Amino acid sequence: MGFTISTFSLPHLPFLKPRDTFAIDIGTSSIKVLYLKKSGSRYVIQSWGILPILDSGSELSPQDRKGMIVARLAEFIAREKITTKNIVSSVSGNQVVVRYVKFPAHSREVLMRTIQFEAEPYIPFDINDVDLGIHIIGNMVEDGQKKFDSILVAAKKDIAQSRLEIFSDLNLRPIIIDVDAFALANAYELSSDPSIIETVLLVNIGAAITNLALIDNHIPRVVRDIFIAGNSFTKSIQKNISGDFVSAEIGKARCGLLISVEDKERMLADDQREALQVSSALIPVARELISEIQKLIDFYVGQNSDKVVSKLLLSGGSAALPNLDTYIQQELKIPVIKFNPVASLSGGDRIDNDDAIRMAVVAGLAIRQENDSIKQ
């Protein structure tokens, strides 16, 4: 599964082997970096890192934020002695639109030449303000006409440009700009058995954005970004208890959700007021998150009545929120598993689970190679 959304074109020289790349996932609060090498059929971890953009909850101007990201990446590259300049990164949020579209099946070459015209009815932005990517899932016949069953992606040029400026300052060569939700799907493919047919929901809860990707028979059928995420939990604690962002983050990580009557009674008996207050602040946000997840499931199952979501794979920094996985499982009646995307990689056992669950997007990016998007 691959997209390349870029504001530039790269020459394809078929007699040259793809060069090494390393993956950079720039989030709201941290940067995840992963550098893999392939050895036979396995991937070996060469370098990895989770680099904080800020050490506190204070706000940065866009320019200061860019400077911090450049500095953190420069330090990592120097420390790890990374020599390759080729990188893979991704974008997400409300400046990225994904549509599942059926295009007339002339030929792939014709579709690529006419994509702006074909895509315009499906994109809520000015077509001249976006970069387009397309992935053809397969061929189909509808109303007697042959069509391409396709996934269309449009990203506002501004968001891609902001990434390119960061990498330009570091003298790095971005060969692929992907989409977080599809990188998440690739991370699932990296760790799953291709012979197992199942319908799985991936939920990656970052600081500002939660990526959702429903995978059916190894194809992402519904993807969505929502804005109920880690900071939503933290701000709810701030609002209900008062205090600064850092204190709310600490309380969130220490206390988590109280979901059983027994837990609540024990906290009352022990006079653990903070735990009760934190849980009371977290539960409404968790309910909102679950409501959005349920909407996505209902949408897909409503169109495919024979499908059942067999499990939910939970990743991202907020997947570590105490009892969140249990609460989601209890409410949705679906098995919830904390997703370790590097467990199948050589060297993955050196990364502890709390760090590993934050690396789902970057793991999916790290297996991309130059020109792999031409393979359908």
Residue indicated by tokens 């200061």? 64
**pLDDT confidence tier of residue 280, bands split at 50, 70 and 90:** very high
Query: In angstroms, how far is the first alpha carbon of the chain from the final one?
Result: 8
Q: So what's the pLDDT on residue 2? A: 52
Is the pLDDT score of 316 beyond 90?
Answer: yes
Domain of 114, CATH number, reads 3.30.420.380
Q: 105-119 pLDDT, tens per residue?
A: 877 778 777 888 888
Is the pLDDT score of 54 beyond 80?
Answer: no
Q: 176-200 pLDDT, tens per residue?
A: 899 999 999 999 999 888 899 999 9
Share of residues in the chain with pLDDT > 90 (%) = 59
Question: Does residue 322 lie in a domain region?
Answer: yes
Report the pLDDT averaged over residues 304-325.
Answer: 95
Q: So what's the pLDDT on residue 132? A: 86
Q: Indicate the pairing of strand 30-39 with strand 42-52.
A: antiparallel
Is the pLDDT score of 146 beyond 70?
Answer: yes
Question: Does residue 8 lie in a domain region?
Answer: no
Report the pLDDT averaged over residues 268-294.
Answer: 92
Is the pLDDT score of 11 beyond 50?
Answer: no
Is the pLDDT score of 320 beyond 80?
Answer: yes
Domain containing 362 equals 22-230+290-374
**pLDDT confidence tier of residue 234, bands split at 50, 70 and 90:** very high
Question: Does residue 194 lie in a domain region?
Answer: yes
Q: How many domains are there within the chain?
A: 1
Query: How much is the pTM?
Result: 0.90
